[in-house]
Structure 1
Amino acid sequence: MASLKSQDILALSFMTFALFVGAGNIIFPPIIGLQAGPHVWTAALGFLITAVGLPVITIVALARVGGPMDALSGPIGRTAGGILAAACYLLVGPLFATPRTATASFEAGIAPLAGDTPLTLFIYTLLYFMVVLLVSLYPGRLLDTVGRFLAPLKILALGVLGVAAFLLPQGMAGEASPVYQAAPFAQGFIKGYLTMDTLGALVFGIVIVNAIRSKGVDSPRLITRYAIIAGLSAGLGLALVYMSLFRLGASSHEIAGSASNGAAVLHAYVQTVFGDVGSAFFAILMFLACLVTAVGLTCACADYFSGILPISYRRLVFLLTGFGLLVSNLGLTKLIQLSEPVLAAIYPPCIVMVALSFCWKYWHAPGRVVAPAMAVALVFGAIHALDGMGMGHWQPDWLAVLPLAAQGLAWLLPVLMVVLLASVLDAWRGPIIRA
C-alpha cells in the first residue's frame, strides 16, 4: 500500500499553507492591528476563529468524507448542494478571490513602484494571469510545483517579514477607531470572513486530496490522515503569520496612521524598515503569495466545473483566467466592496454545514436537521448582509436584541434552536424506510 514519505508530507503541508495565504491573509491583519490599537489582541482572537479555526475544521470535515464538497453537502440534497457548491466555487474563483489576488499584489507591491494607473494594472494582470494559466494547465504537477518550489519561497518571505515585525516595531499602538473600541472581538470575527478561507477550504479540499492521490496513495484512511496533518500544519502557519502581521499593524501608527487599507500599512512599514530594497522584496512577496493561491483556486474551479459541464478542464482554465483578468481590472477597493455583503450572507450556512457534518451519525436522516438549520442561517446571513449594502435601516428591530447580535452572530441562537427541534422530530420520525 503506497504512502507518503516524510518529505512528501512536508511538501503537502507547505502546499496547503501556501494555497491559503493569499491577498486577504496578508492585507487584512495589518489594517486591523492599526485600527484596533490597544485592543489588537482581542480583535485578533475573533479574526483567528474565522480565518484559522474554521478553515482547519473544514479541511478535517472534508477529509472525513473523502475530499469533495459534494459529499459534505449531501444531506441538503443534490440540487441545493450543487447550487451551494457552484456559488462557493464562483465566489472564491473568478468572481472575487482570484481577481483579488491580482489586484492586491498589484496595489501593495507594484503600484508604489510602477504607478497606479489603469494601463499598469492591465499590463500587470495580463502577465499575472498568463503565469496562472501556465501553471494551472498541469494540475498533476501541483504538489511538485507549489509544494517544493513556490511555497518554500513564499514561506521564507513571510518569515522574514514576521521576524522583522516583532524585532523592529516602528512605535506604540495608537488610539483604536470607534468600531474597535465598541466591539473589537466582533469586528475581528467579521473581518475574518473577508479572507474567504473557509470557502477556500471547501474548494481546496479536493485539490489536497488529489495531490495526495497523485503520489499513488489510494487508501481512504491514509488520505484522511495526510489531509488532516496538512490542515493542522497550515493552520499553525496561518496563525503565526497573522500574529506577526497584527503586531506589524499595531506598531505602525506613527508611520501609517492615515492608511486606509492593509496594503498601505505594509508598504509603509517595509519602506521604512528596509528602504527601496524592501519595497522590491515586498513586491515579490505579494506576487508569490497571491500567485500560489490563484493557481490553487483556478485548478479547483476548473476541476469542479469540468465534472458538471460539457467543457474540458483545459478550456475551463483558459475561460477562468480570462474572466479573472477582466474582473481584476475593476480594482481592489471595488472588489472588496462587492464581496463583503455576499460573504456575510453565505458564510453562516457554510459554517453550519461544516459543524453539523461531525454529528451526522446521531441522526436517522441528517438532511432533516442540516437543511432547515442551513436555511435559517442563510436567511439571517442575508439580513446581516444588508449592512454591507448600505441598507441597514431595512433590518428588523428585533434582530438587534438577539444574543450575540453585537458580535455578528445573531444567527447562532436561532440555528441552535432549529437544530434541537429538528433533532427531536428526526428521532420521532425514525429511520427512512425505502421500498
Structure 2
Amino acid sequence: MSRMNVVFAGFMLFSLFFGAGNLIFPPLLGLESGSNFGPAIAGFLITGVLLPFLAIMAVAMSDNGLISMGSRVHPLFGLVFAIIIYLSIGAFYGIPRASNVAYELGFKQVFNMDGGLALALFSLVFFGITYFLSLNPKKIVDRIGQYLTPLLLLVLATLVIRAFLTFENASSPAAGKFATAPLASGILEGYFTMDAVAALAFGIVVINALKDKGASSQKELVQGTLGAALIAGMGLAVVYFSLGWIGRVIPNGSGFENGAEILTAAASLLFAGGGGLLFGLIVILACLTTAIGLINACSRFFNEIYPRITYTAYVAIFSVIGLLVSNLGLNSILELAVPLLVFIYPIAIVLISLSLFEHVGGKSRMMYRFSVAVTSVYAFHQVLDSLGYQLDSLGKWLGWAPFFTQGLGWVLPAFLAALVGYGIDKFRGRPGDEMKGHSSL
C-alpha cells in the first residue's frame, strides 16, 4: 500500500468529517469567548479533533465496529447505543442541520429570501434532490467530492486571509460560560460537531477503503488509518481555529444568534460582488453531499439490522424525517440537540477510551459495565439539567466530582469505576472470556 493511498484516505476522512454543518460552531465560540479564545478553542479541538482521532484508532485497532464496541457492555446495549448514534448523526440532527446550514449560508446569500415559507420551499427542494441522489449516490458524491471539498477550502482560505488583512485583531471580553470556564465550555461546545461519535461509524469506512487499496495485515491497516486520521485531524484543526478566529475579530459582533449568521456577515463584508454568491453556492453543494452521505450511511446501517425494510424505503423515511425536522429552524435544532449530545458524548468517550486501554491492560467486561453505568448516571443528570429539571437529591450525590458544575463531573467517577471493574475481573482471573464474537458492523 503506497503513501499516496494513505494521503487520499486522509482527504476522504476529512471530507466525511467536514460536513458544512461544522462551519457554524467555531465562529460563535470565537465571538462568545473573546479574550479567552485560546483556552476555549483548545477545549473545542479536544472534542472536535483529538477525540475523533482516538475513535478512528479505537475502531482500527480492534477491527470492530460501533455495535461490537457497545456490546462489550452488553449485546442489547451495543445495538441500542448504535441506533441512537446513527439517528443522532442522521435524521434527528446531522441531516436537518446540513439542510439548515445550506439555507442560512447558501440560499439566503443567493436569493436574499427569508421566512418560514422560504425555509419550507427550500427544504422541500433540498430533500427532494437528496432523496433521488441517495438512491444511487456513489458516482455523484465521488465526482462532486473530488472538486467540492478543495473548492470549499479555497473559498474559506480566501475568507480567512481577507479577514486577517481587513479586520482589526481585537476581541471583546469573554461572555457567559466562557468568562468563568473557557476550557470546559470549549470541550462541551465541541460536542455539537458530532465528530467523535461519527468517527465510530467512519472508522469502518476508512478501513474498507485501505483494504481496497491493498492493505491486508492488521499492522498495515493500523498504520494506514493512523496516517489518514493525522491528515484529517490536522486539516480540521486548522479550519476550526481559522473559523473561530473570524468570530473573535468580526466587527459589531453583537446580535448574532449562531455561527451561520456570523459567516454570512463576514462573507458580505469581505467578498465584493459575486464572491458571496459563490460562497453560498459552494455551501449548498457541500451540505447536499453531506446530507446524501448521512442518509446513505443511516439507510445502509438500518437495512443491515432490519432488512425487511428495503434500502430505498429507508432513504425515503430519513428524507421525510429530515424535511420535517429542518422546518424547525437552525436555532431550534441546535437547542433540541443539547439533551441528546450531553447524554451520548460522555458514554462514547468512555467506550473509545476503554477500547484503546484494553490493548495495553487487557480485556475486562466489568471495566466496561461499571464505567458506562456510572457515566450514564451523570449523563442522565446532565440531560435533566439541560431540560430545566433540577433533581437536588441526585445532584448532591453526584456533586462531589471535580468539574461537576461545568458538565464534566463524569470524568473522574468513570475512571474510578473502570479501575474497580478492571480489578474485579483481574481478581476473578477471567477478564476477557465473555468478550467474544463481536459484530463487525
TM normalised by structure 2 equals 0.90
Corresponding position of 2:377: 379
1:127 aligns to 2:130 (yes or no):
no
Superposed, 1:345-424 pairs within 5 Å as 345-361=343-359, 365-392=363-390, 394=392, 396-424=395-423
Do 1:31 and 1:249's aligned partners in 2 also have CA atoms closer than 8 Å?
A: yes
How far, CA to CA, are the matches of 1:302 and 1:419 in structure 2?
A: 34
User: For 2:115 and 2:433, how far apart are their aligned partners in 1?
Assistant: 64
Q: Choose the corresponding residue for 2:233, options 219, 235, 238.
A: 235
The answer for the alignment partner of 1:308 in structure 2 is: 305
**Which of 47, 52, 56 lines up with 1:50 in the alignment?**
47
Q: Which moved more, 1:199-208 or 1:55-64?
A: 199-208
Matched, 1:336 2:329: no
Superposition RMSD on alpha carbons, in Å?
Answer: 2.4
Q: Give the equivalent residue in structure 1 for 2:16.
A: 19
- Deviation sequence 1:150-180 (CA, Å, 0-9, x none): 3222322332223333333255211221321
Distance apart, 1:237 and its partner CA: 0.6
**What is the one-letter code of the residue matched to 1:391?**
Y
- Please point out which of 108, 111, 114 is paired with 1:111: 108
Aligned residue-pair number: 430
Distance of aligned partners of 1:142 and 1:69 in 2 relative to their CA distance in 1, 3 Å threshold? farther
Residue number among 158, 165, 168 corresponding to 2:166 in the alignment: 168
TM-score by length of 1: 0.91
> Match for 1:106: what amino acid?
Y
Q: Which of 203, 207, 221 is the matching residue for 2:201?
A: 203
Contact kept in structure 1, 2:35 and 2:172, CA below 8 Å: yes
CA distance in 1, matches of 2:245, 2:218: 41
Q: Which residue number in structure 1 is paired with residue 295 of structure 2?
A: 298
In the TM superposition, residue 363 of structure 1 has moved relative to its aligned partner by 5.7
Give 1:71 shift.
2.9
Q: Following the alignment from structure 1 to structure 2, what is the Cα–Cα distance between the partners of residues 12 and 360? A: 26
Partner of 2:429: 430
Of stretches 217-226 and 53-62 in structure 1, the one that deviates more from structure 2 is: 217-226
Is the 2:163–2:270 Cα contact (8 Å) retained in structure 1?
A: no
Cα-to-partner distance string for 1:123-166 (whole Å, 9 max, x where unaligned): 22233223433443335548833552332223223322233333
Distance 2:11 2:362 in 1: 39
Give the C-alpha shift of residue 242 in structure 1.
0.9
CA distance in 2, matches of 1:344, 1:87: 13
Alpha-carbon offset, residue 102 of structure 1: 0.4
More displaced, 138-147 or 14-23? Answer: 138-147
1:55 offset after TM fit, Å? 0.7
CA distance, structure 1, for counterparts of residue 57 and residue 163 of structure 2 = 31
Q: Which whole-Å CA distance do the structure 1 matches of 2:96 and 2:406 have between them?
A: 29
Structure 2 equivalent of residue 69 of structure 1: 66
- Secondary structure of the residue aligned to 1:232 is helix
Aligned partner letter, 1:307: E
Taking the aligned partners of 1:340 and 1:403, their CA distance within structure 2 comes to 22
Q: Which residue type is aligned with residue 58 of structure 1?
A: A
Q: Is the 8 A contact 2:10 2:229 kept in 1?
A: yes
1:92-107 alignment runs, 5 A limit = 92-107=89-104
Contact 1:206-1:300 within 8 A present in 2 as well: no
1:28 aligns with 2:25: yes
Deviations 1:347-378 (CA, angstroms, capped at 9, x unpaired) = 11110000000122456652211122111111
Go from structure 1 to structure 2 and tell me whether the alpha carbon gap of 1:207 and 1:141 turns closer, same or farther (over 3 Å shift). farther
| Corresponding residue of 2:151 | 153
The alpha-carbon distance between structure 1 residues 326 and 300, as it changes in their structure 2 partners (threshold 3 A), is: same
1:323-361 deviations in Å (ceiling 9; x for gaps): 212221111111111110111011111100000001224
Please give the secondary structure, in 1, of the residue aligned with 2:418.
helix
Structure 1: gaps spanning 5 or more residues? none
Name structure 2 gaps, 5 residues minimum: 435-441
Distance in 2, matches of 1:379 and 1:287, equals 40
Offset at 1:101?
0.7
Judged with a 3 Å threshold, the aligned counterparts in structure 2 of structure 1 residues 54 and 181 are, in CA distance, closer, same or farther, namely: same
% same residue: 35
Whether the aligned pair in 1 keeps the contact of 2:21 and 2:287 (CA below 8 Å) is no
